[in-house]
Structure 1
């Protein structure tokens, strides 16, 4: 079955369906081999095809489609594992010396995170709410503006001022 990368780049749904049918199972077992999780495997495969379709204009006609798909799948799998927090736990076996460094770094990061959380709590109520929606709930400026019935520019201004305020206070701490 010959598949034209250019047809995919042009948005041909039938060609995309052929690619999906041809690679879905292969990608599933490829990811399953590394994650040992049916859920993560299915999620990674779906996200791989979504990313491929969304970025189809960036597909190279000079590189085999299978290489490009598996590269996208690998990147997607790593992203998912990082989000799950299991990438380092399952795939990296640190030595004792490295473990002590990780523990020390983890303690330092926890302290810094607590300081940062304290500084965020010191922001004005509106600025704190907007900052948390943006950075912790990962909402866009437009989504925050709609949710709070304010303009996106106001959201942008609050986030900019919050970042400057946090940066200034963090510089004083260190």
Structure 2
């Protein structure tokens, strides 16, 4: 199938199910920069915009069935990117306001939340260390060194698609670990929003 002829969700599903990765890559490339620009209008952060767009395409590749009723792939992509960008911006803004408010009060609750937050970060980093070696390297370069997917691919001498797969696998593993963790559930989900900044 010609990448230029992909118009509906079913077109894209067929392409993915048939394993036409080269065509999917051309389709991805045709929209990539435009979608980054759309995201950056809401974020003013080109690196975050790039991560959002890459994540959306990765989810499409991994879960094409979600596109069954999509009549216009172009509209779907733009809506997905804009919604994800707005959600990301709101999380960042809410987190910043939350921290400023707590810091100004410097109450016992603030100190307790700060301790919980630091404990969560320690647990998260411990879980990252348990990832397979190459997956761990890729995830650390992406989340802690702010490397772009292309830069990670060059650094580790692997393809960008392999980088995407490692990031996707790492996120699945870490999300599952935290969403199922009984200790965190007992402590409450007051800092779940902070986790999303690392795991989404």
1:28 deviates by 2.0
Q: TM-score, normalised by structure 1?
A: 0.51
Q: Which residue of 2 aligns with 1:143?
A: 127
Is the Cα contact below 8 Å between 1:9 and 1:59 reproduced in 2?
Answer: no
Tell me, in whole angstroms, the C-alpha distance in 2 between the residues paired with 1:43 and 1:24.
Answer: 11
Q: Which residue of 2 aligns with 1:21?
A: 29
Unaligned ranges ≥5, structure 1: 90-101, 122-127, 164-174
Across the aligned residues of Structure 1 and Structure 2, the Cα RMSD in angstroms comes to 4.5
Count matched residues: 132
Higher relative contact order (CA 8 A, sep 6+): 2
Unaligned ranges ≥5, structure 2: 132-176, 189-200
Q: Which residue of 2 aligns with 1:99?
A: none
Tell me the alpha carbon deviations over residues 27-66 of structure 1, each in whole angstroms, 9 at most, x when there is no partner: 1222233333332332332222223223322113442111
Q: TM-score, normalised by structure 2?
A: 0.46
Q: Which residue of 1 aligns with 2:154?
A: none
Is the Cα contact below 8 Å between 1:9 and 1:57 reproduced in 2?
Answer: no
Q: Which residue of 2 aligns with 1:7?
A: 14
**Cα gap change, 1:37 to 1:53, in 2 (>3 Å):** same
Tell me, in whole angstroms, the C-alpha distance in 2 between the residues paired with 1:5 and 1:81.
Answer: 29
Q: Which residue of 1 aligns with 2:119?
A: 132
Is the Cα contact below 8 Å between 1:6 and 1:61 reproduced in 2?
Answer: no
**Cα gap change, 1:21 to 1:117, in 2 (>3 Å):** same
For residues 32-111 of structure 1, the aligned pairs below 5 Å read 32-85=40-93, 107=101
Q: Which residue of 1 aligns with 2:198?
A: none
What SS is found at the alignment partner of 2:54?
Answer: helix
Is the Cα contact below 8 Å between 2:35 and 2:78 reproduced in 1?
Answer: yes
Is the Cα contact below 8 Å between 1:28 and 1:45 reproduced in 2?
Answer: yes
